[in-house]
Structure 1
Amino acid sequence: MKYSEPLDSGPCWVELGTPDIPAAKSFYAALFGWHCETDPRPEAGGYTMARLGDAAVAALTPLHRPGGSPAAWTVSFSTRDADATAAKVTSAGGTLLTGPTDVFEQGRFAVVSDPEGAVFSLWQPRAFAGAERLGDPGTLGWAELSTRDTVTALAFYPTVLGWTVSAGGSYTHWGVDGADFGGMMAMGEEFEPEVPPHWLPYFVVTDVDATAATALSAGGDLLLPPTSIPDGPRIAVLRDPQGAAFGIHRSYRED
């Protein structure tokens, strides 16, 4: 990610929906050094802020319905007008799933999906802009879309969010005014047919191999072993003990 704080239309926040908040707190503390604070207000529904030092970097939210949605990370993108952007989503073939809704005085959000079903959130900041650190170890560093229809995605996201596109070989880079923050890969035979298109957050770490080993020892799984990408960073894809997938990568700032 080529910026260190949220930009309009760029990724600004990540939330983990999980059936076991205490277990998630322990797991991600071991991986990233996060300490978590649960909002005590009943109307907050158990919303838990993850911090690195004093900086808010992510959130954990309870999954209240047994047998409902699986544990998963959701990437949020900043917008100046959640209602207008949600309308763009539907007019471009996407789906409005939740909202737009106010979150106290913090901002306004909506949960949407693109035409192929990849879910993401829109965040209109008010008191809260989003992650207070990006691109540092222990924070969000990249957001990747996996989809079986890259042509539709290339039309949808620049229309809805105004992203710039840089295509290189088999991998597409997304950016805000040319500042890359993520990418897109085509889902091939390595993905099981039941795996839907999805957004995957990548968190920055100083040592991919050591972090992957820590994840395994803490009860997680390895979906993609540590791998060095040609002309890119070293990465791995993990799954936490509750089943939520996420990536890790070595900081671009160190390469």
Structure 2
Amino acid sequence: MRLSSLYRFPMKSAIGEPLLRAELDGLGLVGDRRWMLVDAENGRFLTQRAFSRMSQLSARWNPAGGLTLASQGLPALDVPLPEPDANLRGVFVWGSSMVVPDAGDEAAEWLSDFLGKACRLVHVPDHRARDIPGSLLPEEKVGFADGFPLLLIGQASLDDLSRRVGRSLEMLRFRPNLVVEGSEPYAEDGWKRIRIGGIEFSVAKGCSRCILTTIDPATGERSADREPLTTLKTYREREGEVYFGQNLINRSGGVLEVGMEVEVLE
């Protein structure tokens, strides 16, 4: 088995960027889901679940830690990394509350125009990350990802799902960080620990899927037949949740490169 694809999502629910090489830190891939849009009034996080237009928003991370925003019909905007302890704003991600720096009025105005809703852009510095839900280890942290630092999907699992649906599905519908080639369909369901390029990962839990998977990442349009969620429910549902992919926690920093061997340790 090998690592066949790497993806980073600098802003939660915006367009992902494919990578050939990525560094890992205590929150997963460096630069992944460190930025987020929130409702300007109440600080609640905003995603494609309610605003499918976010699927057309490019938010590229740069080595200085800032963000470049772009979308068709709008001029690009470079957003500098905000001071980690200034202009703090209370925000909410699912059941977690956080206090993080706001990226300023210019970014907020650009994004509010884009989305058609008053919103603010926020960033999470390392020391303001939240605890992983259910974790008893204080060193286990996550930024703005739903619950865990990383998401892995086997390419064979997507191929099997595409066959069942009857059309080819894009991997980016499922927004993984790591894609593994050479395993059997859904083999990742049974893994507990893996190693890639000398870095060990714990497999935390399956990833429950939602309406976001029905949004075409190229157009932002929802599938009229609610695929692939409709098909997933026929064979991947348990206790009212539909699962596809596995959440991971990296146990060290390091570097990942496409092509690296993937080894199942447990």
- TM-score between both structures, scaled by the size of structure 1: 0.31
| Larger Cα-atom Rg | 2
Q: Which structure has greater strand proportion?
A: 1
Name the TM-score, length of structure 2 as normaliser: 0.31
